[in-house]
Chain A
Amino acid sequence: MYRKVFFLSLCAGIFSAVACIVYQRVYFFALEAEYSKLVNIGSLMGMCVLGCMVAGIGFFLLRKYLPKNGEAIFNLGFVLLSFGTIIFPFAISLPLDIKAPELFPGLTVPMHFFPAMGWFALRNLFIKEKGNI
């Protein structure tokens, strides 16, 4: 089981990182807002993979110790945590040589939801179970 969760976490991390990188490029071409000093391929890949791997540990533990409701709690928790972390792009003070910090949350807030979206999109490809419906 943990092997499946591990690869689900890894793939969801890479998948969401690719989505973040695509979004970053689109955002740059649309608004010419350049934050590559802070938000770049390395940091996006690292944060997305790290986030999904930590989520994977949570998923595994919740499923193990709460087999009935563990996944529902995990899904809710993942979404709430993703939502809760959007405060950081608004609160952070960027280096003063970066222009237009007003546009920084517009770049990074959507990215906070990409790991959860990646996870939910790939979850059934890795863990196939018969539903109760």
Chain B
Amino acid sequence: MKRLVYPFAALAVIAFSAFTVIKSQDWKISEEYSIKFTSQDPSGVFRGLKGNVSFDDKNLAASKFDVTVDVATINTGNGMKNTHAKSAKWFDADKYPLITFTSSEITSTATGYQAKGTLEIHGVKKDVVIPFTFQNNTFISSFDINRMDYNINTAEPDHGASVLKVEITVPVTKA
């Protein structure tokens, strides 16, 4: 009987330790989110944000973003510009229907947080660092994107702006 004490003790420790793994909080993306891009020309919004948002400011190591944006939802306010933006010359929405971001590491900064990860646009993957804040159950982020980095109409660098400011506001609710 004494011989079984240690195996049982080991099992008990394993069983109890399993409950000590803290899972990060999952969040559901609210419909009131906005993804705006602005430049001298063009400016617009994207809809179609989906994915998994797992974030806990007390457990950043377990936090993770894995989100997509439907390219076909682009709206510049002008029908012709929308059609051009979705065409093969620009985003090529038929071939590359999604913009994806998958974080690999989330860390805190002096002003909030930053998510390191891979941003894929137009079939081109780039490692990026996206700064953001999280207050009142709302993620807010602002950063610049150079379309040349993602091979978007590189033949015409002066056709509209190359660098666009992206402003993202994503209210969330606990999943």
Q: Interface of A with B (CB < 8 Å)?
A: 90-96, 98-105
Cβ-defined contact, B79 with A103, below 8 A = yes
Alpha-carbon distance A94/B75, docked complex (angstroms): 10
Identify the closest chain B residue to A99 (Cβ): B75
Q: What is the predominant secondary structure among interface residues of chain B facing chain A?
A: mixed
Q: Which residues of B contact A96 (CB under 8 A)?
A: 36, 43-45, 75-77
A90→B75 CA distance, assembly (Å): 15
Which residues in chain B, 34-82, are within 8 Å of chain A measured between CB atoms? 36, 43-45, 75-82
Which chain B residues have a beta carbon within 8 Å of chain A's beta carbons? Answer: 36, 43-45, 75-83
Give the distance in Å from the alpha carbon of A46 to the alpha carbon of B124 in the complex. Answer: 50
Tally A-B pairs: CB < 8 A.
33
Q: Which residue of B lies closest to A98 (CB)?
A: B77
**Contact assessment for A101 and B45 in the assembled complex, using a CB-CB cutoff below 8 Å:** no
With a cutoff of 8 Å between Cβ atoms, the chain B residues found around residue A102 in the complex are 79, 82-83
Contacts of A92 in B (CB 8 A): 78
Contacts of B77 in A (CB 8 A): 93-96, 98, 101
In the complex, which residues of chain A have a beta carbon less than 8 angstroms from the beta carbon of B79? 90, 100-105
- A91 to B44 CA separation, bound complex (whole angstroms): 15
Of all chain B residues, the one with the shortest Cβ separation from A94 is B77
